A = this chain, B = another copy of it.
Amino acid sequence: MGILVVGSVALDSVATPFGQVERALGGSAVYFSLAARHYRTVRLVGVVGDDFPEEYVRLLRESAVDLRGLQSVPGQTFHWAGRYDHDLNVAHTLDTRLNVFAGFHPVLPDSYRASEFVFLANIDPTLQLDVLRQVERPLLTVVDTMNFWIAGKRDALTEVIRQTDVVLMNEAELRQYAGTDRLLAGARHVLSLGPRALVVKKGENGAALFADGVYFVAPAYPLEEVRDPTGAGDSFAGGFVGYLARTGDVTDAALRRAVIHGSVAASFTVEDFSVRRLVRVTRDEVGRRFQDMRQFTWFEPD
């Protein structure tokens, strides 16, 4: 089934204790697409400037990402510069230049409108609403957000949440949005707005799925070394949505497995800078890590 993603395409300059990259391929729609492509072709809607390297376009195309929805306009591509220190859970933003992304207005090619699975990556919630108006009765809509929109566009974000099936947030975002430190109470609040499920991303502590009568926890895949956490959340979303789109099964049991696939996708991303590891991943590797995750969580009844 078709997957649509609307989000950022960026050039990232990132430094961590393990190295650095300059103007490397990044952005929420990119990480999502490269994680989801193992399952289905992804239709990408985003914008780049005329400085966007042709090699990155080629890389995405060769990775079976449908770029008919990628707008190319005069100007500079969205550029993010950040640094991670010792604590890789905290990103220090050094510079954010929205550039052409500031004027981004998502327009879906006609061929995209009937996508069964829609992922609204972390962009202005008024644009997310705009996308929801353009799609034709998708089977599942999934939305991500961030602290900036929770603080600045709360009402629009709440409207997005009301209209989507699955909400992704990290722990801090949930606390901020729900106004409580208590995870269960916060999750209950989000679900009360209408979505069928909430997935709380907890970085190295895994992810939790909340739905009616469902609480499911997946660990993060254990790694010898995390080199660059950039894109982990969007890759999680890619594995999550991609897996569901492969079969079209969106039962609770499938959502549980999708959380595992999300964790597996994120685990590849953080093993190297930018999308380096993600583009090399094979379906066999994905399958092996999924199996490993069963071993990591399995225990017999008493």
Contact = CB atoms under 8 A, between A and B. Distances in A.
Interface in A204-252: 204-206, 208, 215-219, 222-225
B299 A287 contact: no
B256 A222 contact: no
A302 interface: yes
Contact of A299 (B185, B224, B257, B295): B257
A147 to B, nearest CB: 18
B216 A299 contact: yes
Interface in A127-160: none
A297 B217 contact: yes
Nearest to A261: B302
A298 B256 contact: yes
A213 to B, nearest CB: 9
Contacts of A206: 205, 217, 219
Contacts of A202: 205
Total copies of the chain: 2
A215 B222 contact: yes
Given A216-B297, A296-B215, A287 B260 contact: no
Contacts of A217: 206, 219, 296-297
Given A219-B217, A225-B182, A260 B294 contact: no
B185 A224 contact: yes
Contacts of A215: 222, 295-296
B300 A183 contact: no
A114 B86 CA distance: 47
A90 interface: no
A294 B225 CA distance: 29
B223 A299 contact: no
Given A183-B222, A256-B299, A291-B301, 6 more contacts: A182-B224, A205-B206, A215-B296, A287-B302, A297-B297, A297-B299
28 contacts: A86-B181, A182-B225, A183-B222, A184-B223, A184-B224, A185-B224, A205-B205, A205-B206, A206-B217, A208-B219, A215-B296, A216-B295, A216-B296, A216-B298, A217-B219, A217-B296, A217-B297, A218-B299, A253-B299, A253-B300, A257-B300, A259-B299, A260-B299, A287-B302, A291-B301, A294-B299, A297-B297, A297-B299
